[in-house]
């Protein structure tokens, strides 16, 4: 079950990944600005399957190539700057612009390294995008999906989108079974900053990457 939930989490963060560099150029989806968020998620979920199928062994042997592929296609669809400010919470006001930029990059890198390998277990049809209900908000909206686990059970995964000034829609939060990744990490980051300070936190994430996230999660769990 833990392996299945790990897969669900990996897919949740990977479902906004477009086709990698070695995919056919004519298979690239229209820009997010030309699609409603629900269409963006559906298109990219399909492209993720295409990207993984036929390249699984290659990417499994070369994680750095997998990471570089994610780097090329993930950032255009995820507002990491806005997400990182939400994760920093009240501490975002205390951080300098340079610190906010470093935190955003370090946090993004740690997340991709933590979940990249889980994406190799992704197969076509794992993500079911649910029909959109209600009116499309002009600024923010939520796309609801279900991830099919190995045992056939369904996990609810929602993606929060916001529209940028240039009109394109980008995801900024992932909610798995009602648990927001932004809120979850904000609590961990808040506790760590109060313990070691924001500069040390950033340095820890820069040097330790996903291990720093694991340590924060463990410390947070021990205190709860």
The candidate with the shortest Cα–Cα distance to 105, out of 145, 136, 78, 132, is 78
Q: What is the pLDDT of residue 203?
A: 95
Instruction: Provide mean pLDDT across the span 19-33.
Output: 36
Cβ-proximal residues to 54 (8 Å cutoff; 6+ apart), any chain: none
183 vs 66, higher pLDDT: 183
Instruction: Provide mean pLDDT across the span 174-188.
Output: 89
24 vs 193, higher pLDDT: 193
SS3 147: strand
The candidate with the shortest Cα–Cα distance to 71, out of 96, 105, 45, is 105
7 in Cβ contact with 121 (< 8 Å): yes
**Token digits of residue 45:** 């979920």
83 in Cβ contact with 76 (< 8 Å): no
Over residues 140-166, the pLDDT tens digits come to 889 898 888 777 888 888 889 999 888
Q: CA–CA separation, 31 vs 37, rounded Å?
A: 11
Give the phi and the psi of residue 176 in degrees, each rounded to 5. -105, 115
Task: State yes or no: pLDDT of 178 exceeds 80.
Answer: yes
Count the helix, strand and coil residues of the chain and give each as a percent rounded to the nearest 5.
Answer: 60, 15, 25
Over residues 52-95, the pLDDT tens digits come to 777 888 888 888 877 776 666 566 778 889 999 999 999 999 99
Residue for token pair 């609801």: 144
Strands annotated E in the chain: 127-129, 140-148, 154-163, 169-176, 179-180
The candidate with the shortest Cα–Cα distance to 70, out of 54, 47, 36, is 47
172 vs 220, higher pLDDT: 172
Q: What is the pLDDT of residue 110?
A: 86
pTM of the model: 0.77
Q: What is the pLDDT of residue 112?
A: 81
**Token digits of residue 123:** 């197969």
Q: Report how far Cα 176 is from the mean position of its chain's Cα atoms.
A: 11
Task: State yes or no: pLDDT of 198 exceeds 50.
Answer: yes
21 in Cβ contact with 69 (< 8 Å): yes
The candidate with the shortest Cα–Cα distance to 16, out of 160, 138, 121, 156, is 160
Q: What is the mean pLDDT of the chain?
A: 77
Task: State yes or no: pLDDT of 10 exceeds 70.
Answer: no
Q: What is the edge-to-edge ordering of all strands in the sheet holding 154-163?
A: 127-129, 140-148, 154-163, 169-176, 179-180
> Computed from CA positions of residues 76, 183, 130, 137, in that sequence, does the dihedral angle turn out positive or negative?
negative
120 vs 86, higher pLDDT: 86
Over residues 203-216, the pLDDT tens digits come to 999 998 878 888 88
SS3 171: strand
């Amino acid at each position: 079950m833990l392996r299945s939930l790990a897969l669900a989490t990996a897919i949740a963060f990977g479902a906004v990944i477009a086709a990698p560099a070695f995919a056919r150029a004519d298979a690239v989806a229209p820009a997010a600005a030309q699609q409603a968020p629900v269409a963006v998620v559906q298109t990219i979920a399909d492209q993720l399957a295409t990207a993984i199928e036929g390249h699984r062994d290659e990417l499994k042997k070369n994680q750095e190539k997998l990471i570089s592929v994610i780097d090329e296609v993930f950032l255009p669809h995820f507002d990491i700057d806005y997400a990182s400010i939400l994760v920093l919470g009240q501490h975002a006001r205390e951080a300098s612009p340079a610190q906010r930029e470093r935190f955003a990059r370090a946090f993004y890198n740690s997340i991709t390294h933590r979940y990249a390998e889980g994406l190799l277990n992704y197969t076509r049809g794992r993500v079911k995008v649910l029909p959109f209900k209600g009116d499309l908000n002009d600024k923010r909206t939520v796309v609801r999906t279900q991830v099919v686990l190995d045992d056939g059970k369904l996990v609810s995964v929602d993606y929060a989108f916001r529209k940028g000034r240039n009109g394109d829609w980008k995801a900024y939060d992932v909610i798995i079974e009602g648990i927001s990744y932004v809120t979850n990490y904000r609590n961990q980051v808040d506790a760590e900053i109060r313990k070691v300070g924001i500069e040390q936190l950033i340095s820890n994430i820069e040097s330790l990457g996903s291990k720093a996230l694991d340590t924060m999660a463990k410390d947070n769990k021990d205190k709860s």
